[in-house]
Amino acid sequence: MKTALLLIDVQESFRQRPYWSTAELPAFLDASRRLIEGAQAQGMPIVRVFHSDGPETADNPFALASGLMRPLEELPALQPALEVIKHRHSALAGTGLAIWLHQHGIQRLIVSGIRTEQCCETTTRHASDEGWQVDYVTEATLTFAMQHPASGTTLSPAEIKLRTETVLQDRFAEICTVDQALARAAAAVSA
């Protein structure tokens, strides 16, 4: 298998953030389930990435001590090929993930997770710069409304996703649906 699925920061910690919203959650969970199940059916390695930052105290939802650095409860159970904890936006920064990917002959990454424009986009850019082909599955990413600091304009999750797709396509990644990413992974096996 030349492709690996990255599940980036799909963790319970986010439910504790003030910006957490369930408006986009059902569609994200559906796409994530289909992507995980499709990857499992192909025997694709799945890498689970957790984000940790801030003090290592029980009241910090992004600390191991909180008990919230675990997969979102609605996701299907899986045994990841690798699990890493990151402390930066890119899943490739300081985690050993790049070494593992090279050791396993991975040439293509499927990126999914939380947040669309933050850790998912940053990992995509980093991976592309390091030479991996990246399939960015926007429908299997989740983000939340954000307010521009100067103008006060609020960007919806849909607007943020559109912006992310615009800056990634043909520069850093191929924007794919779940079905397209799985088909591209299957085609890479037979190539």
Nearest Cα neighbor of 35 from 157, 164, 183, 169 is 183
pLDDT at 43 over 80: yes
Q: What tens digit of pLDDT does each residue of 96-137 get?
A: 999 999 999 999 999 999 999 999 999 999 999 999 999 999
pLDDT at 172: 98
pLDDT at 191 over 70: no
pLDDT at 1: 76
pTM: 0.97
DSSP 51-69: E--S-SSTT-TTSGGGT--
Average pLDDT of the chain?
Answer: 97
pLDDT at 100: 98
pLDDT at 190 over 90: no
